[in-house]
Amino acid sequence: MTSLPTLAALAADLDAGRTTARKLVDQCLANIADQSGEGARAFIHVDAEAAIEAAEAMDRLREAKAAPSPFAGIPVSIKDLFDIRGQVTRAGSRALDDNPPAEIDAPAVARLRRAGFVVIGRTNMTEFAFSGIGINPHYGTPKGAWQRQVGHVPGGSSAGAAVSVADGMAHGALGTDTGGSCRIPAAYNGIVGFKPMQRRVPLDGAVPLSFSLDSIGPLARSVACCATMDAVLADEPLQSLHPRSVAGMRLAVPTTVALDELDDAVAAAFERALERLANNGALIERIEVPEFLDIAPMSAKGGFAAAESYAWHRYLIVAHGDVYDPRVRDRILRGESQSAADYVDLIHARKSLIARAGVRIAPYDALVLPTTANTPPTIAEMADDKAFTKANLRALRNCTLINMIDGCAISLPCHRDGEVPVGLMLAGIGGSDRRIFQLAAGMEDIIRG
């Protein structure tokens, strides 16, 4: 999947004395500082001194046989949406520059630290997480891993998070996912991204986009890497991940909405992955999911994201609206025109959607669908507002289906080496997180053939 090491490989090297936490941090810092790389755009802030001190502390604890976990000392990046004690949380914006530094870590950050992971820095993101493309006019836009000399978008909103992992500037990343913000950048950069059931990880200490849809998840290099980070984030015991055999898997391909207007490369990679799964014994059924047709009308006035983000931003926009990315500000302001009745209708409609979709999906182990309808466009193309809007909607569409039904999902690379990155999404109803990891672990090598 990648020549860079997995968390398990790094843990084994640390345990055997083949490397140290200090060496891992030094290498990540060197990769960030490389003038020919994307570190200056992937990161908003790098706290090298604190990372080195934490790494050396983990090395001493490991020498004393007191490391808090096998992963102690491994560097990870944190999306700029999260509070880190002593730092200002800017959420990829300039509108929060005057905010005081956070007094405590967000629970998600604190749990990673408690397991011994080393925070290497804060990653760049779409301002206030409001786009699936990853453009940021304030801090620059990191180029995605595909054809870097051309300059393709990294995907958003966890843009720097994905690039940090793909480029060896961190070995895992903390992201958020409201409509695909872990899975889209993972798909665009050829790595793995996981969106858990929303209630799995506390949202405290993270700037909200939509408190009804926001989820906190990892981006990493393998299914097992994401499963490890997810267990830490969910405050669950670390346990081995046992892959499910592909033979006998019952997988449903939703033909409603999810397969519409796919780029040729996406369609080809997805169908090839399905063929390989079927050849290995998976039972694949193409089904209609008419519930998915309800989602676009529910979002016609901006949906939950516009309504709930406007509630959070309405005073900040009055004070600092001139420094917002205009595209982000305009999307937030759509919430101003929604009435209380509109919002109540939306809540009831989603409750019904979740119940009906759950019944539809229940007979299957998981849904399988393309993560995005498109491949990553170039950064230059996104200067045009119409092109940006179209690309953004196509990037978000399939992932949003799962957020709206309160499900969990993982994006796996399914392209061949040298091809444009394409993600395959495996999704289930809320609470099926562990099963999704087991299924994904069983198929991740098969679908890359």
| Residues with catalytic roles | 79, 157, 181
What is the Cα–Cα distance from 228 to 70, expressed in whole angstroms?
11
The two tokens of residue 345 are 């209708």
Other Cβ atoms less than 10 A from the Cβ of 103: the count is: 8
Among residues 141, 213, 148, the alpha carbon closest in space to that of 181 is found at 213
Beta-carbon contacts of 144 under 8 Å, excluding residues fewer than 6 positions away, are 134, 152, 153, 154, 155, 162, 163, 166, 185, 188, 189, 376, 421
Alpha carbon 240 to its chain's center = 22
What is the Cα–Cα distance from 78 to 411, expressed in whole angstroms?
19
Amino acid type, 389 = T
The two tokens of residue 160 are 């720097």
- Listing DSSP states for 291-347 in one string gives GGGGHHHHTTT-HHHHHHHHHHHHHHHHHHGGGS-HHHHHHHHGGGG--HHHHHHHH
The two tokens of residue 267 are 């369609």
Other Cβ atoms less than 10 A from the Cβ of 98: the count is: 9
What is the Cα–Cα distance from 405 to 421, expressed in whole angstroms?
26
Q: Are 238 and 69 in contact (CB under 8 A)?
A: yes
The two tokens of residue 306 are 């516009």
Among residues 332, 343, 361, the alpha carbon closest in space to that of 429 is found at 361
